[in-house]
Every structure is written in structure tokens, then in C-alpha cells.
Amino acid sequence: MSGSRQRLHSEIYIGLMSGTSLDGIDAALVDFRGRRRLLGTLFAPYPRRLKAALLALQVPSRNELHRASLVGIRLSILYAGVVNRLLQRSGVGSYRVRAIGCHGQTVRHAPGFRYTMQLGSPAVLAERAGIPVVADFRSADIAVGGQGAPLVPAFHAAVFRNARVHRVIVNLGGIANLTDLPRRGPVTGFDTGPGNILLDAWVRYRLGRDFDRSGAIASRGQPLESLLDDLLADSYFRRPPPKSTGRDHFNLAWLRRFAVARRRTEDVQATLSELSARTIGRAIARFCPGAREVYLCGGGARNSDLVRRITRALPDGTAVASTAKLGIHPDWVEAIAFAWLAQRRLRNETGSLPEVTGAEKARVLGAIYAA
């Protein structure tokens, strides 16, 4: 069978996720035929200079269109390198991969202005990898009045829902988002607010570190109750869903408005950890009443201080575990979700849930770039 014929018979997809934390690229190689099988995974941290360039592009600055385009190409070359390494390691030929679902790197998320922007040139990636690429997953939902986010709840529903128990999935990325999976009835979900983003920003600002490993710094501090009250007063937390947010709103500049300069590093860190935990806890209590099980995924699931605080912030009797208990390691849920969304696109099936994003209707998500 020729390479292109083999591809058409394959249900192997690659998901590439690079989230708001700007930590790097998560890649998952998944075979969806029969029982879903994870054939390989890879995490590639962003090189320092690329991360700095991406951070600089999060705010308006000089000649940004040109700079964004150049960074987009650099990103795609990096994505292609990740794909090739992943395939090599897993012993899978590129001709066996049906498509790559590539989220791209968000530099603006402004559904209120009817746009969202992810960098990365899918054409360059398709060419270099020799595999079709599905990209720009969010625009179609925004075009019908949705938030364009979160997009993972449809995947969470497909793989984690159980008719006998009310579950909630919480992704602890830069931004935290939840999916409510009641035993029956509509699936909902939204961004609760900051996950790791402020924790990362604060230790970077104070200590020059990328993140607070296991939450060790936060666990040495005492939450500052009056600061916490001020942070919790942000109107985003009061807004009812559908809602989504990003670095555009929650960032170091936002935090520095709250007179944190003279506070101890570890106390502010503990306060930020408490902020993420309480906003998640409150969101679950208010919008997912009766949930019995909460499953965590994303990089924040490795932050034991944060996990402890989330557990405390949840209604009594709620069981907390990582998605590993449901068969998917917490590091790879999002990347697998974008492989799955690429499959939905190729099948012309919808990928968005209007109850989640607030759109008028469900849409087939993503644009296809041929190899």
C-alpha cells in the first residue's frame, strides 16, 4: 500500500499542546483505533530565547506583527523537530500518522473582541513533518459567539464521564479550567482563573526561577488573608460562566497592582496558591453541586502544596485524585485532547460544546493544512 493510502487507513494522530504557562511543548502520539493507545509522549521545554520572545509578545509592543510572524516560524520548526523525535522514538513512520492537531501558542485571547490568536505556522509544520496539520481550533467557536475556550471538555466527557458518579476534571495549566461531568445532562466547563500562571510569575520575578517545584516555596509561607481578599475581589471570579481568560488578564502586572512589593516571597506565594485553590473550590461548590470525585491534570498536579490546598477548599467528602486513576497520566491529557480534536476535524465531527463556550451552536473546529 502506498504511503498516502496507508495514512488514510490509519487512526494514529499527534497532539501538540503549548499552553499559557509557556513552559514548552507537550506532544502525544495516539492510536484511536479500537481501545485508545498512547504510543509515545515527549515534552520539549522552550529554549530561553524563544520563551523570552513569546513573553514579550504577550503585551503590545513595537513591530509586533513582524516579530510574531518570525516567532511563529521558529515555533513551527521546533514543533516539527518534536514530531520527528517522537516518531523516531516510538518507531512509527510519519506516513502512518493521519494528522497532527497543533494548538499553537496563544499570544492574545480576546473573545470579547471576537478574536483569539495562536502563533505557529501550520504550513511550515505540515511541510517539515510531511504530515497534514489541523490548527486554529478556536476561531470557529468564537465566530458563532463562543469563548473559543475551553475546548478540552468534549474530550474529558468522551473519556472520563461515568453514568454512575458525578465527576469534575480540573486542568491545572497556566490558567485552570474545569469540566463538570454530571451523571447525566449537559456537560459544562469554564476557566476558573489562574492555575500556575501567577505562581510562576512571582517566583520568576523574585527568584529568577521558572516555577515553584512541588510548591515548596508556597508551603513555607503563610497566606496573607487581606491580600487574598483583595485578589479574590477581581470581577472575573464573580462572573458566571461561560467565561475564559488568559495571560491578557492574569499576569505579573495584575499582581503588582496589589502592593506585594514589601511582602515576603513565600507568603505571597502561599497566598497565590490559596487563590488558585479557593477559586477552583468555590467554582466547584457553586457550579458543580453534588460532585463526588475531582480529578486533576496538568503541570499543577505535580505541585503538592497546590493539590493540598485544593483538597481543603473542596466541599467535605469530595474525593481528589489525579487523572492517572482514570487511565491517563496528568501530563498528557491536554496533548491527547488535541490529537482527538484533530480526529474530530478529519471526520467532520464537531469539537466544541456550546454549553461550555456559550456559542450559538457546536462547530467543526480547525483548519486543515495538507502535507
Contacts (Cβ under 8 Å, ≥6 apart) of 15: 26, 27, 28, 30, 100, 101, 334, 335, 336, 337, 338, 339, 340, 341, 342
Please report whether residue 23 would count as binding ligand ATP according to CB under 6 A. Answer: yes
Q: How far is CA 117 from CA 104, 106, 191, 253, in A?
A: 9, 6, 17, 21
Q: Closer to ligand ATP at the Cβ: 146 or 299?
A: 299
Footprint on residues 321-340 left by ligand ATP (CB under 6 A): 334
Report angle CA 277, 294, 338 to the nearest 5 degrees.
95
Question: How far is Cα 331 from Cα 65, in angstroms, rounded to an integer?
Answer: 32
Question: How far is Cα 233 from Cα 177, in angstroms, rounded to an integer?
Answer: 19
Please report whether residue 246 would count as binding ligand ATP according to CB under 6 A. Answer: no
Please report whether residue 21 would count as binding ligand ATP according to CB under 6 A. Answer: yes
Please report whether residue 211 would count as binding ligand ATP according to CB under 6 A. Answer: yes
Binding-site partner at residue 20 among ligand ATP, Mg ion, none, CB < 5 to 8 Å by type: ligand ATP
- Contacts with Mg ion by CB under 5 A: the residue count is 3
CB of 297 to ligand ATP, least distance (A): 8
Please report whether residue 122 would count as binding Mg ion according to CB under 5 A. Answer: no
CB of 361 to ligand ATP, least distance (A): 25
Using CB under 5 A, which of the segments 13-21, 245-253, 267-275, 306-314 binds Mg ion?
13-21
| Amino acid sitting at position 329 | H
The per-residue DSSP string of 107-123 comes to: EEEEGGGTEEEEE--HH
Interacting residue with ligand ATP among 20, 179, 188, 323 (CB under 6 A): 20
| Amino acid sitting at position 8 | L
**Which residues of this chain interact with Mg ion, rule CB under 5 A?**
19, 21, 23
Binding site for ligand ATP (CB under 6 A): 17, 19-21, 23, 171, 173-175, 196, 199-200, 211-215, 298-300, 302-303, 334
